Amino acid sequence: MSINRKIREARIFTPSEVGLFERVFERAKRKGDSEAHREALASRIVANYIAGITDEAELLALSRQPLGRLDTSP
C-alpha cells in the first residue's frame, strides 16, 4: 500500500500536506521493505502528523520509529 492510498482514505488533508507526507515517505522507506513495513510507515507518518508533528525533519525522524506505548508500570 502506498502512502497515497492512506492519504486518500483519510480524505482530510490539503495538497501541501499530501506533498509533505510523500516527501517524508520517500525519504523514510528503504529498498527491500515489505509491503507491510511500508504500510506501517505510511500509517506512522499520518498518525504523527495528526498528533501535531508538522516539522518535516521531526516527522521523518519520529516516523522511522515504531509506534508503541510506554510502560509506565513500577
47 domain residue, yes or no = yes
Q: What is the pLDDT of residues 7-37, one digit of tens each?
A: 667 668 888 998 999 999 999 999 998 998 8
Percent of the chain with pLDDT over 70: 74
73 domain residue, yes or no = no
Question: Which whole-number Å values give the CA distances from 31 to 2, 23, 43, 55, 58, in the listed order?
Answer: 14, 16, 18, 25, 22
72 domain residue, yes or no = no
Domain encompassing residue 20: 3-63
Arithmetic mean of pLDDT over the chain: 83
Q: How many domains is the chain built from?
A: 1
Count of CB atoms situated within 10 Å of the CB of 19: 11
